[in-house]
Amino acid sequence: MIKESLVKTLSDQVNAEYYSAYLYLAMSAHADRAGFKGIANWLFVQAREEMAHGTHMYQHILERGGTPVFADIKVPPASFGNIKEVFEKVLSHERMVTERIHKIATLAQQEQDHATYAFITWYVNEQVEEEVAAEELVAKASLVADNPGLLYNLDTALAARTFIDPFAGNAG
């Protein structure tokens, strides 16, 4: 049975994951309206990943005998600036998510909940990948600046991203 402290913390993270999805959907719409369909696609795929993360955490709570606690999901901003600023906001957001995941891992250790610690370790590693990807996008956006040809190439490259459910085939 999962302890209530972890149910609360994981439930808060479920909410944060769904907010992340809303944020990335808002960023995707922003990029789409600016004519960057490939960047919009990359952000849309990111939103789908965040929804999968939230659902995965929700399932973990249930599997461990807890009852998820839901909260309002705040409304994300509607405007994000230029493409470099969008990716800087992605990086900043992912760094915040990393801090939250680390706090869950620490709490799981303190509560001696080895199952939840093993579960959250996947997210610790995932956040390393998320931050690296965001850092690379900030660097690329910095290099292309406002060069239309280079922005077109970046947009085209990001259009190739597809969603792969990281939990497909897993029971939970």
Query: Domains of the chain (ranges plus CATH)?
Result: 4-158 (1.20.1260.10)
Give the angle subtended at the CA of 134 by the CAs of 12 and 59, to the nearest 5°.
30
pTM of structure? 0.95
Report pLDDT digits (tens) over 3-56.
Answer: 999 999 999 999 999 999 999 999 999 999 999 999 999 999 999 999 999 999
Report pLDDT digits (tens) over 146-155.
Answer: 899 999 999 9
User: Does the pLDDT value for residue 159 go beyond 70?
Assistant: yes
Report pLDDT digits (tens) over 44-88.
Answer: 999 999 999 999 999 999 999 999 999 999 999 999 999 999 999
DSSP per-residue string spanning 35-81: T-HHHHHHHHHHHHHHHHHHHHHHHHHHHTT--------PPPPS---
User: Does the pLDDT value for residue 172 go beyond 70?
Assistant: no
* pLDDT band of 171, cuts 50, 70, 90: low
User: Does the pLDDT value for residue 170 go beyond 80?
Assistant: no
Q: What pLDDT, on a 0 to 100 scale, did the predictor assign at position 146?
A: 83
Q: What pLDDT, on a 0 to 100 scale, did the predictor assign at position 145?
A: 86
3-state secondary structure (DSSP) of residue 166: coil
Report pLDDT digits (tens) over 85-139.
Answer: 999 999 999 999 999 999 999 999 999 999 999 999 999 999 999 999 999 999 9
Could you give the CA distance from residue 106 to residue 87 in angstroms, rounded to a whole number? 29
